[in-house]
Structure 1
Amino acid sequence: MNDMEDMIQYDFCKPYLMLDEYILWKGKPEKGHLITGNDVIVSLFGIVWLFFCLNFIRAIFMQPTLFLIIWMIPFVCVGFYMAFGKIIQKIYLRNKTFYVITNKKLMIKKGRKIQIYNGNDLPPMEIKIHNNGLGTIIFSEFVYTGRRRYHRYIMLENLINVVQVQNAIEVMKGSKS
């Protein structure tokens, strides 16, 4: 990839930079380590879900009614998404994902979606080094909202030089907004 293409891919961050803000690091995920253990579990559950839905549809066709056939369509769609959709989405977004770390914030662009996180508000960092030498940085925390608790995480996946990215994050977190 040449420098001009590289500049265009990271232009998304320019409107969000403040006057005293500058880029410490920019990059994108490399190929490899696409599927996580969670993805495998969801896919296996989706395959089982899909199997039961398709068997139910087969039973419906013994005495078909339009209502039951239409009623099962959402269940089959959910099964397909759980079994295959999430992985297909990850493959599609891999080449459309870009990361920018400035002295004040972290920006992640996935497809057309841009997420911006204030550097001082990021949860603690966890680093995972994969067998292929690439690394993933994960910011993880539990968020409590009224009656509900959920796990929120932010990931910078498949990075070539994790130490360089970690240093940029440390500088960002050390900078005062």
Structure 2
Amino acid sequence: MESYLLPGERVLWEGRPVRHRLFRKADAALVPFSLVWFGFSMIWLITARSGGSGGFPLFGLLFAVLGIYMAVARFVVRAVASRRTVYTVTDSRVVVRGGVTGGKLTTAYLRSLPPPVITERPDGSGSLAFGAFPGVGDIFDSGRRSGWSVWSAEPSGTLILWEVPDVRRVRDFIAYGQRAA
């Protein structure tokens, strides 16, 4: 982590997800959408194949692959990315390292983030978001990304620390850093 630190920056907390939950609230809308998408692509493939139309089967195949990704493969991508995720809270930033290869780096300055909110389990672990946890409708909010985030393993642009141990302590470190910034 030291290579990602800015001069004079101190690490307040570092951790990994304690659980790797694959299904999130936004998936309640994405899974049915992806199944309809995949069904449509199968109908397209069957009718294009029987009709002998030139490029139409290729488009149907492309839509089928995208449907399989949205329905199944993005959960595999999410699982792999979750196992490679490391969260770091410094006195000035939140740093998230992860992604499928473990090389994706996301940082946000504490002073620019809304106040942290948490969901907590009986064992003290939980998730932490900034401002609010994203809702189902946020997956179609093109203002956060360039286009729908249904293609992403993470269907929200909101910075979230998923399933961290002792989530209240992490929230307190972040709140302390926000007050100091």
| Helix, strand or coil at the partner of 2:13 | strand
Distance 1:83 1:159, change over 3 A: same
Question: Any gaps of 5 or more consecutive residues in structure 2?
Answer: 135-141, 145-155
State whether structure 2 residue 33 is matched by structure 1 residue 45: yes
Aligned equivalents of 1:140, 1:75: Cα separation in 2 = 36
| Helix, strand or coil at the partner of 1:61 | helix
How far the C-alpha of 1:114 sits from its partner, in A, is 0.3
Question: Any gaps of 5 or more consecutive residues in structure 1?
Answer: 1-12, 143-147
TM-score (norm 2): 0.78
Which residue does the alignment assign to 2:17?
29
Aligned equivalents of 1:132, 1:42: Cα separation in 2 = 30
Aligned counterpart for 1:167 among listed residues 138, 162, 172: 172
Could you say which structure has the higher strand fraction?
Answer: 1
| Helix, strand or coil at the partner of 1:31 | coil
Matched-pair contact (CA < 8 Å) for 2:95–2:105: yes
TM-score (norm 1): 0.80
Distance 1:70 1:163, change over 3 A: same
Which residue does the alignment assign to 2:150?
none
How far the C-alpha of 1:99 sits from its partner, in A, is 0.3
State whether structure 2 residue 76 is matched by structure 1 residue 71: no
Query: 1:104-115 maps to which residues of 2 (within 5 A)?
Result: 104-110=92-98, 111-115=102-106
Distance 1:152 1:32, change over 3 A: closer
Aligned equivalents of 1:124, 1:81: Cα separation in 2 = 34
Which residue does the alignment assign to 1:6?
none
Aligned counterpart for 2:111 among listed residues 113, 120, 133: 120
Aligned counterpart for 1:93 among listed residues 81, 86, 92: 81
Which residue does the alignment assign to 1:155?
160
Matched-pair contact (CA < 8 Å) for 2:20–2:82: no
Number of positions where the alignment pairs a residue of Structure 1 with one of Structure 2: 159
Aligned counterpart for 1:103 among listed residues 91, 112, 124: 91
How far the C-alpha of 1:130 sits from its partner, in A, is 4.1
Structure 1 residues 162-171 or 73-82, which shifts more? 73-82
Give the root-mean-square deviation of aligned CA atoms: 2.2
